[in-house]
Amino acid sequence: MAALAAALRAAHLDGLLITSLPNIRYLTGFSGSSAMVVVSERDLLLVTDFRYATQVQEEVGDLARVAIEAQSLWTGVWRQMADMTGLDVVGFESAYLVHRDFERLLNAGARWQWRATTDLVETLREQKDAGEIESIASAARVAERALERTLAGVRAGQTELEIAGALELALRDAGSTGFPFETIVASGERSALPHARAGTRQVRAGDFLLIDFGAIVDGYCSDITRTVIVGRATPEQRDVHDIVRTANERASALVRAGMTGKDADALARRYIEERGWGEAFGHSLGHGIGIEVHEAPRLARTTEAVLPERAVVTIEPGVYRAGWGGVRVEDDVVLGRDSATILTTFSRELLEVG
């Protein structure tokens, strides 16, 4: 709260209307799907609806004042804001307020002066505290236990969906409260699709099997990818996997707070380019994880911003060859000034399963 109050002062704002649910969760602990927050230097107000009356008490405690609305959250926001003193110039989240609601600010909210803001809370979220890092580390351990159990059961003839089902059950059993994104299980030539979902394809001996998934623990996400072989790997499969694994290990070992996102991306990209596969690594190296599975900072060719200390980011180089297959190896890493701590410990060797 002190950091947010300082950010408001720096932006010459008396207050901020927060409509991003992950930002609301970060500031108040509330995890429901319907809420708005108004923050001023002295006050943190959360408006939600009656469905969450019990949950909000449990989750928020005395971190925020809570108002429960029977009908529209906006009605509650206007009423509560009218009672808050010293509120004149108020920011809103430009990336999390749709045009329809922006019009409400100009109409029902016309008595306040509105200023578009970006990333005020997101910037605070980049640097994790010890408790947040421990939650992400727990989510990584849960994901790895689930992966180990799942790979032990993989057999040729199973569909990608069956493998995804086994993985999700294992995640639940290991203690994940949900799935941060739709589990990717892509086999054979489908592993060349960087965003394939699990489908009805049956895995066959000789297939790459790419599994990209995560766990949620205490509201924080992990995000991990391993690519294995069903049966025995060919030398060509080993070569491509070795390039990606080496790119991953180099980047994880060398990435630091204080670098730009672009320089971090280059740690893996240069190596893949040197090995002749630069064109086949079409996405960026990684992204922050936390309450959201994609959050700031970014590790990408176009990112000039400097990576902050205690950000937790993914390191996920990949090589994709349409019609043949793809390999991605993804870990979660905490950035320090002089070192990086890898939270994911699952083997990066090319495993042969089934």
Residue ranges in contact with a second copy by CB under 8 A: 31-33, 50-52, 54-55, 71, 92, 94-100, 102-103, 116, 118, 161-162, 164-166, 168-169, 171-173, 175, 177-179, 182, 192-199, 282-283, 302, 322
340-342/35-40 β-pairing: unpaired
Smallest gap from residue 53 Cβ to a second copy (A): 8
Smallest gap from residue 75 Cβ to a second copy (A): 12
Joined together, the tokens standing for residue 90 give 């108020």
Of all helices (H) and strands (E), which one includes residue 324? none
Q: Which phi and psi angles does 191 have, rounded to 5°?
A: -65, -10
Cα separation of 250 and 268, whole Å? 7
The nearer residue to a second copy, 60 or 198, going by C-beta atoms, is 198
Cα separation of 210 and 216, whole Å? 20
Closest by CA position to 198, among listed 211, 208, 180, 189: 211
Smallest gap from residue 223 Cβ to a second copy (A): 15
The nearer residue to a second copy, 166 or 315, going by C-beta atoms, is 166
Q: Residue 10: beta bridge partners?
A: none
Which DSSP category does 300 fall into? Answer: S
Cα separation of 231 and 83, whole Å? 67
Q: Are 1 and 40 in contact (CB under 8 A)?
A: no
The nearer residue to a second copy, 57 or 345, going by C-beta atoms, is 57
The nearer residue to a second copy, 84 or 193, going by C-beta atoms, is 193
The nearer residue to a second copy, 123 or 127, going by C-beta atoms, is 123
Smallest gap from residue 255 Cβ to a second copy (A): 23
Smallest gap from residue 136 Cβ to a second copy (A): 19
Q: Are 227 and 316 in contact (CB under 8 A)?
A: no
The nearer residue to a second copy, 175 or 336, going by C-beta atoms, is 175
Smallest gap from residue 40 Cβ to a second copy (A): 21
